[in-house]
Structure 1
Amino acid sequence: MLRKNRPAFSIGEEPLGKIRGHDIELYLNVERPYPPMLGRAPYPENLDTRKEIEKNINELLEMDVIRKIGQHEIVEITIPVLITWNDGKSRLCGDLRALSNYTKADRYPIPRISHSLDKLAKAKIYNQDGLYEKFPPEWG
């Protein structure tokens, strides 16, 4: 299983793995043009912090964690915020509070039982006796 899902795990120098083929669907309850609250200007930052944010964004682009949207699209979903700890390390985060006001609630974020049962309909089920017949225990 680990070999099959190898791209999902970090290997070597890269701090993050990659999962392909699983898109996140985010439904908004507003249409374009988006409200100005979603496309507001970034927080005022000093020059050093701005450079650190750009460096973090470029690293995420190089690792294929994020991607650029079309240059003619104006969709700022989040504002980058740099969180700095006392030891000098920093982490890039996104301020998604404005987006939360415009997202539709996902009523079923995990699979429903009926969907899971449909998938299990073709599964083979063995009871304990059937397993002993197929795979007898070795007692010595």
Structure 2
Amino acid sequence: MSFLGFSSFYRKQLTDLAILARSLYRICHQQTVFEMTQERIEAYEKIRKALTEAPLFLMHDWNIIFKLYIDSCGDGLGAYLHQVQIIDDKPTEGPVCYISRQIKPTELRYGASQMEGLCLVWELEK
């Protein structure tokens, strides 16, 4: 639980954290037996690695156009806000922030187009 809380603090810096941590969140429920399966160990290792190797963020500049990338899958929604800024005299595109969340049970019935639309609306609301 402490590890998930710690990594959630950095969720804006970690790509697809909600999807990566899905199996770990499942063992936090009261009715679930704590068992570290291979899937959970791999999820833990991926998150731990992401925490130590996260890319550097660009400081947002309100005078420059933002680029929004979205993606959805059967496990979650993700969005990435980027900007192209001049760094060392050359244009460099880099992340400003990441956001992700797990799919809710009622959203599992959505088709691909509906999922992408949901992802776009959800991200714009955030």
TM-score calculated relative to the size of structure 1:
0.19
More helix by share: 2
Greater relative contact order (Cα 8 A, min sep 6): structure 1 or 2? Answer: 2
Instruction: Work out which of the two has the higher radius of gyration on C-alpha atoms and give 1 or 2.
Output: 1
